[in-house]
Amino acid sequence: MPRGMRIAALREFVSGGRRRYPWLLATTSILVAALLLVPLVAIVAQALQAGWGQVWLVLDRSFVATLLWNTIKLAVVVTILCAVIGTGCAWLTERTSLPGRRTWAVLLIVPFVIPDFVLAWTWTSVFPAIHGYSGAVLVMTLHLYPLVYLPMAAAFRAADPGQVEAARVLGLSKRAAWLRISLRQARTTLLGGCLLVCLALLSYYGAFENLRYQTFTTAIFGEIRTQFSPAVASSLSLVLVALSLFILGGEGMFRERGRVQRSGAMAQRAQTPIQLGRTRFLAVAGVATTVGLALGFPVAVVVYWMTTGSSSGLPTSVSFWAAMGYTALYSALGAVLATALALPVSLLTIRHPRRWTATLERSTFITQAIPGVVIGLALVYVVSRHLNFLYQSPQLLVIAYALMFFPLGLVALSSSVARASPRLEEIGRSLGKGPLAVRLTVTAPLLAPGLAAAFCFLFLSSVTELTATLLLAPTGVRTLATQFWAYAEESASLGAAAPYAAAMIAMSAVPAYLLGRWFDQRIVGEPGGSWFQEEVP
Partner 1 sequence: MERTTTRARLQALAMAGAVIATGLGLASCGGTGAGGGGGTITLYSGQHQQLSQAIVAAFTKQTGIHVRVRTDDGIVLANQILQEGSTSPADVYLTENSPELMLLTEHHLLAQLPASTTDQIPSRYNSPTGNWVGVALRVCSLVYNPSLISQSQLPSSFLELSQAKWKGKLAITPTDSDFVPQVGAVIATYGRPAALSWLQGLKSNAALYQSEEATVAAVNRGQQAVGVINQYYWYRLRLEVGAKDTHSKLYFFPNRDVGAIENIGGAAVLASSSHQADAKKFVAFLASAQAQQLVSAGDDFEYPARAGIAANPALPPLSLVNPAVINVVSLGNDLTAASLLQEAGLT
Show contacts with partner 1 in window 79-118 (CB under 8 A): none
Give the chain's largest Cα–Cα span: 79
CA distance 383 to 376: 10
Residues of this chain, 323-342, that bind partner 1 according to CB under 8 A: 329-330, 333, 336-337, 339-340
Segment near partner 1 (CB under 8 A); pick from 74-82, 259-267, 295-303, 388-396: 388-396
Helices (H), 370-522: 372-386, 394-419, 422-430, 435-438, 444-463, 467-472, 480-485, 494-521
58/291 with CB nearer partner 1: 58
160/425 with CB nearer partner 1: 425
Segment near partner 1 (CB under 8 A); pick from 160-168, 270-278, 431-439, 500-508: 431-439
Reduced to 3 states (helix: H, G, I; strand: E, B; else coil), residue 526 is: strand
**Judged by CB under 8 A, which of 99, 388, 423, 525 binds partner 1?**
388
CA distance 486 to 490: 5
CA distance 53 to 59: 10
Check residue 63 for interaction with partner 1 (CB under 8 A). Answer: yes
Specify which residues 96 forms β-bridges with. 274
Binding mask 339-378 for partner 1 (x = CB under 8 A): xx--xx--x-------------------------------
**Judged by CB under 8 A, which of 42, 107, 398, 410 binds partner 1?**
398
Closest distance to partner 1 from the beta carbon of 450 (Å): 14
Q: What are φ and ψ of residue 279, in 5° steps?
A: -65, -5
- Which of the 8 DSSP states describes residue 110? G
Residues of this chain, 4-43, that bind partner 1 according to CB under 8 A: 5, 8-9, 19-20, 22-25, 28
Check residue 71 for interaction with partner 1 (CB under 8 A). Answer: no
Q: How many CA atoms lie within 13 A of 365 on its CB side?
A: 26
223/251 with CB nearer partner 1: 223
Reduced to 3 states (helix: H, G, I; strand: E, B; else coil), residue 214 is: coil
Check residue 212 for interaction with partner 1 (CB under 8 A). Answer: yes
CA distance 360 to 441: 30
CA distance 147 to 112: 8
Q: CA-CA distances (angstroms) from residue 445 to 242, 410, 439?
A: 40, 18, 9
Q: Residue 201: name the closest of 73, 65, 378 by CA.
A: 73
Residues of this chain, 433-452, that bind partner 1 according to CB under 8 A: 435-436, 439
112/500 with CB nearer partner 1: 500
Closest distance to partner 1 from the beta carbon of 322 (Å): 10
Segment near partner 1 (CB under 8 A); pick from 204-212, 238-246, 296-304, 458-466: 204-212
CA distance 405 to 450: 16
Closest distance to partner 1 from the beta carbon of 342 (Å): 11
Amino acid letter for position 272 = T
Residues of this chain, 495-514, that bind partner 1 according to CB under 8 A: 495
- Which of the 8 DSSP states describes residue 51? -
Amino acid letter for position 142 = L
203/214 with CB nearer partner 1: 214
CA distance 481 to 478: 8
Closest distance to partner 1 from the beta carbon of 536 (Å): 23
Instruction: Confirm if 334 and 216 have CB atoms less than 8 A apart.
Output: no
Kindly report the length of the chain: 537
250/434 with CB nearer partner 1: 434
Size of the site for partner 1 (CB under 8 A): 73
Check residue 387 for interaction with partner 1 (CB under 8 A). Answer: no
297/381 with CB nearer partner 1: 381
Closest distance to partner 1 from the beta carbon of 235 (Å): 11
**Judged by CB under 8 A, which of 272, 275, 310, 521 binds partner 1?**
310
**Judged by CB under 8 A, which of 183, 393, 424, 427 binds partner 1?**
393
Instruction: Confirm if 164 and 181 have CB atoms less than 8 A apart.
Output: yes
- Which of the 8 DSSP states describes residue 433? -
Closest distance to partner 1 from the beta carbon of 79 (Å): 25
Residues of this chain, 176-195, that bind partner 1 according to CB under 8 A: none
203/339 with CB nearer partner 1: 339
Binding mask 455-494 for partner 1 (x = CB under 8 A): ---------------xx--xxxx--------x--xxxxxx
Helix/strand/coil (H/E/C) assignment for every residue in 250-305? HHHHHHHHCCCCCCCCCCCCCCCCECCCCHHHHHHHHHHHHHHHHHHHHHHHHHHH
Residues of this chain, 117-146, that bind partner 1 according to CB under 8 A: 128-129
Residues of this chain, 213-242, that bind partner 1 according to CB under 8 A: 214, 218-219, 221-228, 230, 232
